[in-house]
């Protein structure tokens, strides 16, 4: 969206902030008898409550006008049709097509990608089921362990989903290696049998430095027990670089590709999800896709005022740009969603962590917030103190299921009670008068300020029946679309990630210098601090 138009909307919204600043959330609920119903949406699977934000119908109307003027619906259509909205790389953005199923052709560069997607999915499903059934074996050994080697989106998506869907995991044990720190590979493979271990190497280009370093380490690990002629059978590649995968020794029948219109952080829906397919089976993985497809249809068809990801995005804009909140906490009250905040961290911060607009000018406004979080109730005993009484206000998303997969639901009720209590406490707070009354009859005026909770801390809550593949797929897709809408409003490209490149390039320059202590190099290339640290490395590594 042009900065001038954005400025006009933001000026209007700031007037509404001034109007609402002196109104507590409690007062808003008292003055709006139907607020809880009016500011919540039930899509039939997920119930989204956004009533605990300091917002009302007037300010919401201005936010919806902002979305209309930003031409969200038009931008949405371009994405779903395969328009090259990733303009810095001249690419379409079609992770939505990976879960769309049958339908009208989606043409990219003259090719109907639906046909390609259908073929690739059948191949991946077929291989996953052969691994699960034991039809694909490693000589005389069936596969007991699968190690996914990737980084970024090639790791965060699979590792999050496998943990989230443990009740549905019935295949081999799935493990993950991502960090180039050798300790990650060592600790993950400790206790595994090389004869029954399959490695999935996830790298589109098959050149990702960290991933290939770990892939070579896997080869070395296998070679200690496996004949060189059999090692290749222990590898699968998720890549498009057939030459490099062949050189590595992976048969073309065990190479599963994807396309340049699938960004890494959006790739769990592609062959990058192979580890998840092996873990939960093709039927459950299909339900995962169906959940995301349902979210896509909601995003496409619902009016802006009834559209969950649009409202998520607008509330985020309201907090980031009008109230100046620079962080956002994701707090799943579901221990199996322990990796969900980290997954969303990459999804959001790599997508919208930019300050250059589509017209190559610098944005006048703050863009992506810092995303962080941990599962409840653990977080309550770690950082909730800051959420309740810290000097910075941090909006939160709470996520919780009504039921767990465990037979005894006692713990789930306790979990749910804590989740609801935390969002209520953040909203209501506790006044000096309430603290004084609680301290009766032994009132110590010095302690009163310490026990006061300001309240008016905003939050959204997602509640669902149970964390199933369908529910997880829908949740992820809603957050994807939220991030897309915010990118359109801010006028940035949410689908490139040039910011990760510089550090990679410098690392490739520095690494050769660490190989030999007396290597001669031009010290003017690096700054004095870096040169000093290189020298200190040689001292410490002796």
Per-residue pLDDT at 305: 97
Cα 302–303–309 angle (5° rounding)?
65
How many Å separate Cα 240 from the centre of its chain?
24
| pLDDT on residue 341 | 98
Q: Which CATH number fits domain 498-540: 1.20.1070, 2.60.120, 1.10.1740, 1.10.1390?
A: 1.10.1390
Comma-separated ranges of CATH 1.10.1390 domains in the chain? 498-540
Predicted local distance difference test score (pLDDT) of residue 529: 93
> Is the confidence at residue 421, as pLDDT, over 70?
yes
Question: What's the pLDDT score for residue 521?
Answer: 66
C-alpha 59/C-alpha 54 separation (Å) is 10
User: Active site residue: 190, 381, 516, 542, which one?
Assistant: 381
**Bridge partners of residue 463, in order along the sequence:** 47, 400
Q: Among 232, 145, 231, which residue's Cα sits nearest to residue 196?
A: 145
Active site residue 501: no
Residue 409, pLDDT above cutoff 70: yes
Strand partners, 445: none
* More confident position, 504 or 372: 372
User: Could you tell me which residue, 524 or 420, shows the higher pLDDT?
Assistant: 420
Higher pLDDT pick, 498 / 515:
498
Is residue 175 annotated as a catalytic residue, yes or no? no
pLDDT at 495: 96
Q: Kindly tell me if the per-residue pLDDT of 519 is higher than 80.
A: no
3-class DSSP assignment, residue 197:
strand
Does an H or E element contain 511, and which? Answer: none
Please tell me the distance from the alpha carbon of residue 448 to that of residue 301, in angstroms, as a whole number: 51
Domain 95-281 has CATH 3.40.50.10490: yes
Other CB atoms within 10 Å distance of the CB of residue 147? 23
Residues 42-68: what's their mean pLDDT? 98
Rounded CA gap, 176 and 149, in Å?
A: 6
Over 80: is that where the pLDDT of 522 sits? no
> What 8-state DSSP symbol labels residue 320?
I
Catalytic, out of 210, 350, 374, 480:
350
Inter-axis angle of helices 274-301 and 113-133, nearest 10 = 140
- Say yes or no to pLDDT of 176 above 80: yes
What percent of the chain has pLDDT above 70? 99
Q: Tell me the two tokens of residue 82.
A: 């395969």
- Beta bridge pairs of residue 175: 147
173 bridge partner residues: 145
β-pairing, 107-108 vs 111-112, is antiparallel
Q: Report d(CA 322, CA 17) in Å as an integer.
A: 7
Outline which parts of the chain fall under CATH 3.40.50.10490. Answer: 3-69+302-490, 95-281
Catalytic residue of the set 135, 297, 504, 517? 504
Quote the tokens at residue 501: 């490149």
pLDDT in tens, 218-258: 999 999 999 999 999 999 999 989 999 999 999 999 999 99
Is pLDDT of 502 > 90? no
pLDDT band with cut points at 50, 70 and 90 for residue 505: confident
Give the pLDDT band (50/70/90) at residue 520: low
Q: Please give the pLDDT value at position 156.
A: 97
* Active-site annotation holds for 350: yes
**CATH number given to 3-69+302-490:** 3.40.50.10490
């Amino acid at each position: 969206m042009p900065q001038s138009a954005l400025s006009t909307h933001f000026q209007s919204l700031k007037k509404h902030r001034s109007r609402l600043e002196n109104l507590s959330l409690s007062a808003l609920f008292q003055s709006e008898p139907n607020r809880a119903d009016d500011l919540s949406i039930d899509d039939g699977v997920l119930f989204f409550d956004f009533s605990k934000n300091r917002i009302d119908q007037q300010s919401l109307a201005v936010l919806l006008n902002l979305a209309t003027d930003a031409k969200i619906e038009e931008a949405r259509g371009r994405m779903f049709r395969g328009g090259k909205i990733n303009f810095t790389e001249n690419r379409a953005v079609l992770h939505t097509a990976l879960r769309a199923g049958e339908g009208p052709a989606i043409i990219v560069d003259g090719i109907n990608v639906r046909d390609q997607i259908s073929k690739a999915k059948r191949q991946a499903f077929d291989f996953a089921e052969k691994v699960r059934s034991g039809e694909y074996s490693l000589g005389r050994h069936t596969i007991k362990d699968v190690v996914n080697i990737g980084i970024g989106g090639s790791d965060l998506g699979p590792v999050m989903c496998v943990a989230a869907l443990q009740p549905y995991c019935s295949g081999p044990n799935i493990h993950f290696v991502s960090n180039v720190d050798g300790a990650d590979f060592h600790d993950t493979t400790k206790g595994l049998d090389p004869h029954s271990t399959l490695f999935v190497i996830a790298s589109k280009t098959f050149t990702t430095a960290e991933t290939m370093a770990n892939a070579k380490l896997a080869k070395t690990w296998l070679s200690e027990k496996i004949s060189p002629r059999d090692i290749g059978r222990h590898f699968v590649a998720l890549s498009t670089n057939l030459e490099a995968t062949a050189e590595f020794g992976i048969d073309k029948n065990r190479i599963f590709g994807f396309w340049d219109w699938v960004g890494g952080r959006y790739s769990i829906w592609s062959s990058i999800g192979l580890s998840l397919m092996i873990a939960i089976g093709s039927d459950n993985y299909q339900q995962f896709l169906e959940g995301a497809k349902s979210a896509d249809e909601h995003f496409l068809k619902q009016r802006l005022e009834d559209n969950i990801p649009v409202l998520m995005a607008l509330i985020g804009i309201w907090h980031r740009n009008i109230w100046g909140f620079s962080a956002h906490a994701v707090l799943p009250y579901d221990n199996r969603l322990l990796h969900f905040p980290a997954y969303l961290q990459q999804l959001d911060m790599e997508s919208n962590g930019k300050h250059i607009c589509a017209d190559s000018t610098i944005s006048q406004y703050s863009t992506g917030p810092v995303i962080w979080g941990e599962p409840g109730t653990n977080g309550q005993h770690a950082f909730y103190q800051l959420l309740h009484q810290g000097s910075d206000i941090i909006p939160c998303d709470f996520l919780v299921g009504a039921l767990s997969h465990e037979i005894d639901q006692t713990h789930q009720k306790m979990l749910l009670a804590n989740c609801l209590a935390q969002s209520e406490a953040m909203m209501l707070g506790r006044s000096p008068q309430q603290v004084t009354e609680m301290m009766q009859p032994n009132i110590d005026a010095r302690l009163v300020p310490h026990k006061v909770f300001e309240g008016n801390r905003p939050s959204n809550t997602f509640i669902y029946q149970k964390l199933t593949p369908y529910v997880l797929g829908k949740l992820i897709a809603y957050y994807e679309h939220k991030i897309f809408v915010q990118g359109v409003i801010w006028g940035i490209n949410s689908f490139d990630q040039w910011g990760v490149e510089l550090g990679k390039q410098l690392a490739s320059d520095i690494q050769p210098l660490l190989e030999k202590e007396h290597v001669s190099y031009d010290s003017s290339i690096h700054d004095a601090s870096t040169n000093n640290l290189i020298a200190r490395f040689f001292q410490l590594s002796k």
